[in-house]
Structure 1
Amino acid sequence: MRRERLRELVLDLGLWGVLVCPVLLRLDPDDGGSWGQVAVGVVGLGVAVAVCRVLPLLALALAVALSLATSPELFTPPYALALVVFGYLAGRRRRHTRAALALFAAIAALGFALVPLSDGNVSQGFTVVLVLALAIVAPWLTGRYVRQYARLVRAGWELAARMEREQAAAADRERLRERSRIAGDMHDSLGHDLALIALRAAALEVDPGLGARQQAAAGELRVAAADATARLRDIIGVLRTDEDGEGKGTSAPTTPVGETVEAVVERARASGLRVELTVTGPGGETPPMVDRAVHRLVVESLTNAARHAPGAQVQVALERAADTLTVSVSNGPGTGVRGEREPSGGTGLVGLDERVRLAGGLLTHRARADGGFAVRAVMPLAPGAPAAPTPARPAAPTSVRERDRARQEVRRGLAQAIWIPLALVAALGVVMLVFGLWTQSRSFLDRDDYVSLHVGDPLSADAERLPPHPLDGPPADVPPEPSGMDRCLYYRATLTATVPVYRLCLVDGRLADKAVVE
């Protein structure tokens, strides 16, 4: 917290130092100002910077007041940068717009209200509105768009993080559910074996060829097998979920106990699925965990092919090596008509991955170039192989799409935030340039016309040889007018420069004096 406050203090001091530089350079006595004006500007900008983080509109109002006090047309070189900066910060730091719009309307109204007080004309009010649009409103709009850009970026990252957490939680639930299914498979297989052991022990218990001691031992073995079966059923009932056991702790197996891959393929063919099975490599015994993992992978893959690619040809391949078993299931693009799809959480592959990992293997899956899908698992054949380490979670596809969509929206908004104000500034600049050149051309006196004028010629402001509109008055710091003149008219000597100007003084409607004044 202290470090953040120190950082803000350093930034505010740096901003204040940058804003007072134009005041020090343009309001000193050498440029027609005074040290009092410099002091007022430095202190006023310091107060504006100090309150800008809490009250950015008040800081902008202070900058506007300082600029209007220097010039009723609002635009002044000492405070132009301050207007732009505080206008941007007002849009960047303030969320609501109503107060800002009220301030802009007040500045425009004040610009026109100052016209009679400063002995100006209506063009002065127009200049205030133009400066307001270019130096204050345009930066304010840019600041608002930057604020919206930051909010969109922050919201996009928060959404992506939340979706990643939700998908990770769904994957964890699917892994737990898969472990519950493994527990169910263990119950089905071990329960079957224990039942056979109890049945054999019961037969030995009543065998007349055994003695009483052996029959009693067989009876104890039968009771122990029955108790083990009951305890196994209770433990599996705790591990199984409601979805697996319908809230009863146990459930009937969905597939026959000990069903082979060949039987699964035959059952799929009988259901109308076009499936081919290829088995290569030497025969041999398969560890129970690997056998159940292979069975589950083939069943799940065939189910997905029938659901998502109806009518597609499916290839199932079992490749047995000395110490590994590779299972591949791939299908082409669907050619049939899809029926109404059931809702799916998209976590079937997560469950398969957990099943294969616990068997010590590795599962990979990919979309084929022809539109189909392929699943491949490599599992060890060594009994008691340890489970493979849990792989690092990949980026959630849904969150990636949401982040990309948010980035596109942000880029689009940022482009609008940049180009719209620039286009507005360019359009207003062109209008102002054209209007200024047109206004100046109406007060421009050609040199040949000036030379053709002679003292004593009858002359009026609307004479044919004179421009339609003389200047409003003499430029600043020009020599005083000759005494005894009724009035003097000033015209531009060049189209773009303020000085020199032509001065034509009249007495009783005749030209009494003409001069080029600097």
Structure 2
Amino acid sequence: MRRERRRDRLTDLALWAVLAGSVLLKSDPNDGGSWWWVGVGVPLTGVAVLLCRARPLLSLVIVAVLSGWQSLELFTPSYAAALVAFGYITGRRTATARPALFTFAGIAATGLVLSLLLEDLWSWFAQLVTLLFTVVVPWLVGRYVRQYAQLVSAGWQLADRMEREQEAVADRERLRERSRIAGDMHDSLGHELSLIAVRAAALEVDPSLDERRQAAAGELRQAAAEATARLRDIIGVLRADGEPAPTAPGAETVTALVERARNSGMAVELTEDSAPSALPPMTDRAVHRVVQESLTNAAKHAPGAAVRVRLSYGEDDVTVRFTNERQVSATSLASGGTGLVGLDERVRLAGGTLTHGPDGEGFRVTARLPLTSGAAPSPVPPAPTSARELDHARRRVRRGLVQAITVPVAVAAVLAVLVLGFRMYSDTRTVMDRGRYDRIQVGDTRADVLTRLPRLSLDGPPPGVQPEPADAGRCEYYRARKYETTPAYRLCFKDDRLTSKTIVTDVDNEEDRPR
């Protein structure tokens, strides 16, 4: 355990060194503001690395905020590697997909709000593309790796379980045969001992024998009777399947059992409803065994994890719910397995049902037991086959692989449709009528000109046009025709007045013509 922790710390330290190096190398030494960002980004990247094992989503959010603060498009040279790394780590170390999906949606929604406030919707589209390829795709790859590891682990678990089941079957056959031999011994030896006792009784009353010999025969008869009774008691322990199980409960209560576990260092929380005056013997012993076996498994397979035990009493049954927060070793779920099998048999003979299995990152055991005496044993449930479990694990991995391929493609297709739609919308909203352009005069105030302009302008000068005139102020460009960038109208403002108006074209085709 210490070796694994040391290795984890070294891995985290190496990850922080790589990500911090990216922040340092991509900073401009001539820009004083960038050094301020280094002073903030390097420590916060270290915090994200520290949290990535317990709270990987929080680490991803920290890096996303750092990257988004530098650029609304989310893609920055300083934090691109960090986004990819923490996206993968989130998929690798998060059991369920829903929290991650909510986080991605929250990042996209925040970007949309900021883009609308800044009137720069194209940055939001760029942010979505960055989110898809630097976060979502690595997250899907991480989930696939996690599911593949679970498949491999499930295969080893099933192989180990099959070996143990084969050993258990062999042990049961040996015990069954020994039970038959013991029964045969009981029948034969008991019959012989009974005959010896009868013959000794006959000798005890034989008048031809003196008193000493009659006393010896009486002692022989009594010894044979005692040996017969002792043999019946010993062999009777090997009861047949149809005979009732022992019903005497132990003296220790569930409260005392939990208190003993607390004294040993376990963090156990017991919640118990008001219990009836007395439970049936079989139910009482089964409740005790469920809690005892569950505490033993938690101490063995998840040391240090918080444990919760709840006893709920209904009108006809009592429910025992046992949960622990985390499962340290995935292979420990399959180690042995005989404890849960025996526990299931104990609950079944008491007339109840037992369910158990992973619950998120932890483990759960639930038992329902009747409150009436003499309840018939529950039917034996069919054991799950290894082939079915392995097939389920394979389907889960295949589904993860399909998601890793189809989700980015589907999201990219949706983004393409959105970008195309917005492009077509912007093309129609950035076109200026020639008549409006002619009515605009140099020297007009910006307020008067805005009343004649389209709602949107181009993001910048069209490609290939001549540079803007010196001291022209801020220039804006508008299309002359739909779906064409040139020719375009250029209007330049300075001190809230129009200083120049020009029709610009591609310099390879036509010179700029002032108007």
Instruction: Calculate the TM-score normalised by the size of structure 1.
Output: 0.48
Answer with 1 or 2: which has the greater Rg: 1
Instruction: Calculate the TM-score normalised by the size of structure 2.
Output: 0.48
